[in-house]
Amino acid sequence: MKAKHAINLSKGLTFFFILGLMLVYQNFTLGPWVYLALHGTYGFLWLLKDILFPDKQWEQEVSISQGILIFALVNLYWIAPFILISSGNIPPLPLVTAAISLNIFGVFLHFASDTQKYYTLKYQPGLITDGFFARCRNTNYLGEIFIYTAFAMLTQHWLPFVILGVFISTVFIPNMLKKDKSLSRYPEFDDYKKRSGLLFPKLFAVKVTKQEQKTTV
């Protein structure tokens, strides 16, 4: 099996898991409905993304046991809706508004930058230095962090933030550093690195020169 099969299974089941929690705990207040809309929809969008512009890093073959482990690890994100729904806490409206706004911004950065990366590399392999990657080398990861931060905010509990921190430190950052190492083979990477941030954009960096060519990530 491929790594993406375990991930996609988790993403696809998220909506039904959250809805199941709402039924079990008979909690149909504002918080669970908002969480269901945000996290459940994100899971379906992930599946659509895998069909239209899949990420090649999840195409790697893994054993059944590894697939089960990946599925279990990804499902750590399900702790957030469990806490929210089982506790019965109702998030205040200003917090709900902030979480929805952050989630929308995160989905935009995550999916739009992945789209740019996929179709740019499909027709012109190399180092991508414009668009979503002009000032930030990992806009997609930044968007994903915004998405899961929004989910954690709705729970009003510290544990989902810790889980997100674990994923950032053990998955996101190592992958970003690995990508930097791979991109270092391009002669123009050093200049690009100086004017772009690893995770957060350098808003006041030097402009890209016209001579510099687009090329991967």
**pLDDT recorded at residue 89:** 93
**Distance (Å, rounded) from C-alpha 47 to C-alpha 90?**
30
pLDDT of residue 28: 98
- Amino acid identity at 124: Q
The tokens describing 197, both together, are 């941030």
Q: Tell me what pLDDT residue 216 has.
A: 45
Using the structure block, give the residue that is written with the tokens 């668009």. 131
pTM over 0.85: yes
pLDDT string in tens for the chain (217-residue length): 899 999 999 999 999 999 999 999 999 999 999 999 999 999 999 999 999 999 988 899 999 999 999 999 999 999 999 999 999 999 999 999 999 999 999 999 999 999 999 999 999 999 999 999 999 999 999 999 999 999 999 999 999 999 999 999 999 999 999 999 999 999 999 999 999 999 999 987 555 454 444 444 4
